[in-house]
Amino acid sequence: MSAAPLLIAGTHVSAGTRVKIEFPLADLYTYGPLAMPIEVVRGRLEGPTVFVSAAIHGDEINGIEIIHRLLRQHSALRQLRGTLVCIPIVNVFGFINQTRYLPDGRDLNRSFPGSERGSLTSRVAHLFLREIAAKCDYGIDLHTAAAHRNNLPHIRANLDDKETLRIARSFQVPVLLNSNTRDGSLRQAAGELGVKVVLFEGGERLRFNEHVIRIGLAGVMNALRTLGMLPARGAREASPKPVVARHTRWLRAARSGIHRIEVELGQRVRRGDRLGVISDPFGAVEDEVRSELDGIVIGQTSLPLVNEGDALFHLARFDRLSAAERTAEGKKNLIDNADNQLPDTEPPTY
């Protein structure tokens, strides 16, 4: 059966077409126009409608490259059922200025559902939710860590929902966080409209991390296969089963100083293990940073200069240590497995 007509960001997209949309936003104060770039790929046959978004925080750019490469999967997308809505740069204002925020200083991912007559950030949130997210059945939102932090590739989602858990597992990342939605987040606002959203985290702001990009691309492709939008692939080497974590904790600096990190992202740690050392400039005074729980390092600071109270290590805690051990071992094969899941394509162009 042919897909029904679809209106995305004010543009009618017919079945079997591929359309680029420049979605108008507020003009710059120079009177220059500004638009959010969107590309919609519609299959000839009916299926789910899925949005894939990146750069809701304007300095988180790994997701932009993931979407770039996703749209280059030409042979796969020719077999698409349903509709894929790709928004590589949601926060165009922040992207231009290489910042997390919009010009009014607000965080877009704390401003949903937004308001037609609110602040600039609120208006962008309102437009995105009404004209894009509300037209979809599912969403994949791509993020990286905030300033001076680095994240292990992982998924955050409402894993108590069976369908969302199924999509999250398809990413084949080592860690799935059962994460409550935060007030004002896209995930919360879209969820209230019945749109099931998973959030992919990985890497650093303002940096392309090739490993994270390849893992993220493989995950998105797997999610589309899981939803029946792309044909299933043949048998592949089994990936380690991801582990669901329901609790995380940031370990913070007990004093200011120069911080030496002694663990890696994805490393299993036990309660009491030494994770790093904070010292004075001469090295005469040293304070050890020790783990307060058993788990895995899923995030850490990348800045060696720390103040008292700064977040140093983000640990995911598991009910069973053996599960954490399997996850840490599985991380070693994560990149190879991601490569094996991708079709052969020409290298990306810029």
Q: Residue 125 has which token pair? A: 């949130």
Average pLDDT, the chain: 91
CA distances (Å), origin 61, targets 17, 137, 204, 325: 27, 25, 9, 31
Least-confidence region, from 127-141, 167-181, 224-238: 224-238
Task: Give the E-state strand segments of 30-183 in sequence order.
Answer: 35-42, 45-54, 81-87, 138-143, 149-157, 175-178
Tokens of 104: 């009014």
Q: Which residue has the tokens 């940096």?
A: 207
Phi-psi region of 70 (alpha: psi -120 to 50; beta: other; left: phi over 0): alpha
- The Cα 218–Cα 226 span in angstroms is 12
Q: Residue 235 — pLDDT band, cuts 50, 70, 90? A: low
**pLDDT of amino acid 321:** 47
Percent of the chain with pLDDT over 90: 83
Least confident among 94-108, 153-167, 207-221, 315-329: 315-329
The answer to whether residue 77 scores a pLDDT higher than 80 is: yes
Query: Which residues fall within 8 angstroms of residue 292, CB to CB, at 6 or more apart?
Result: 249, 251, 271, 315
Q: What is the mean pLDDT of residues 76-83?
A: 97
Band of residue 241 on the pLDDT scale cut at 50, 70, 90: confident
What percent of the chain clears pLDDT 70, i.e. is strictly above it?
88
pLDDT of residue 181: 79
Give the CATH number of domain 6-239; options: 1.10.8.350, 3.40.630.10, 3.30.300.10, 2.60.120.10. 3.40.630.10
The CA distance from 101 to 183, in Å, is: 17
Reply yes or no on whether the pLDDT at 208 is more than 60.
Answer: yes
Nearest 5°: the CA angle 78, 41, 9 is 175
Q: What share of the chain is helix, strand, coil (3-state, %, to 5)?
A: 25, 30, 45
Whether 86 has a pLDDT exceeding 90, the answer reads yes
- Reported as a single tens digit per residue, the pLDDT across 274-288 is 999 999 999 888 999
Are the C-beta atoms of residues 137 and 285 closer than 8 Å to each other? no
User: Residue 59: helix, strand or coil by DSSP?
Assistant: coil
Give the residue range(s) of CATH 2.40.50.100 domains in the chain. 247-332
CATH number 2.60.40.10 given to 247-332: no
pLDDT over 80 at 148, yes or no:
yes
Strands (E), the chain: 6-8, 11-13, 18-24, 35-42, 45-54, 81-87, 138-143, 149-157, 175-178, 196-203, 243-245, 247-252, 257-261, 268-269, 274-279, 286-290, 295-301, 305-306, 311-317
Provide mean pLDDT across the span 242-269: 94
Question: Where are the CATH 3.40.630.10 domain residues in the chain?
Answer: 6-239
pLDDT at residue 1, rounded to an integer:
47
Q: Which of these, 321, 330, 251, 264, lies nearest to 297 by C-alpha position?
A: 264
Average pLDDT over residues 79-88: 98
Quickly state the pLDDT bin for 347 (edges 50, 70, 90): very low
- Express each pLDDT in 93-123 by its tens digit: 999 999 999 999 999 999 999 999 999 999 9
Give 97's DSSP letter. H
pTM metric for this prediction: 0.91
Q: How far apart are CA 210 and CA 181, in angstroms?
A: 28
Q: Is 283 helix (H, G, I), strand (E, B) or coil?
A: coil
Return the ∠ at Cα 18 (arms to 13 and 23), rounded to 5°. Answer: 65
Please state the φ and ψ torsions of residue 78, each to the nearest 5 degrees: -65, -20
